[in-house]
Amino acid sequence: MLLQRTISKHQIFVLLAALVIAAGSTFYILVKKKPAPPAHTLHYSTFHTGHGWGYDILVDTHIVIHQPMQPGKSGYDGYPTESAAQAEAQNVIESIKSGTHPFFGQKQTQRPGVSSAQPK
């Protein structure tokens, strides 16, 4: 006795529909790639205060650091000149871009790769 299986038209239709959906999905994933997100712009802006100059560090239009005074100094004195505030803001941006922690208003004296915290 010979068993013969037949495929109905309905099964053929379902199989072809599944193949078309799979091919379309693959095409969409491979060809229709999402555009890369726009790169964020890191920049600074200086401003004058009643006590000198300060700066803001911005990502696009959002302020991430607001520095109206010189850190590490007592009182509320800002930077003496706009160019001094600009130089410090540029140093902070370079520190952020390089992935290191910015040292506000102070030179980095710790050697790279050496932790300043001593284990107890």
Q: What is the pLDDT of residues 29-73, one digit of tens each?
A: 877 777 777 888 899 999 999 999 999 999 999 999 999 999 888
Overall pTM > 0.75: no
Confidence band (pLDDT; 50, 70, 90) for 120?
very low
Q: Where are the domains of the chain?
A: 42-98
- The dihedral sign for the CA sequence 47, 49, 53, 54: negative
DSSP track, 36-104 = PPPPPPEEEEEEEETTEEEEEEEETTEEEEEE-S-TTSSSS--BSSHHHHHHHHHHHHHHHHHTSPP-T
Looking at the DSSP bridge assignments, the partners of residue 56 are: 45, 66
Q: How large is the average pLDDT for residues 1-11?
A: 73
Confidence band (pLDDT; 50, 70, 90) for 10?
confident
Cβ neighbors of 72 (< 8 A, separation 6 or more) are: 104, 105, 106
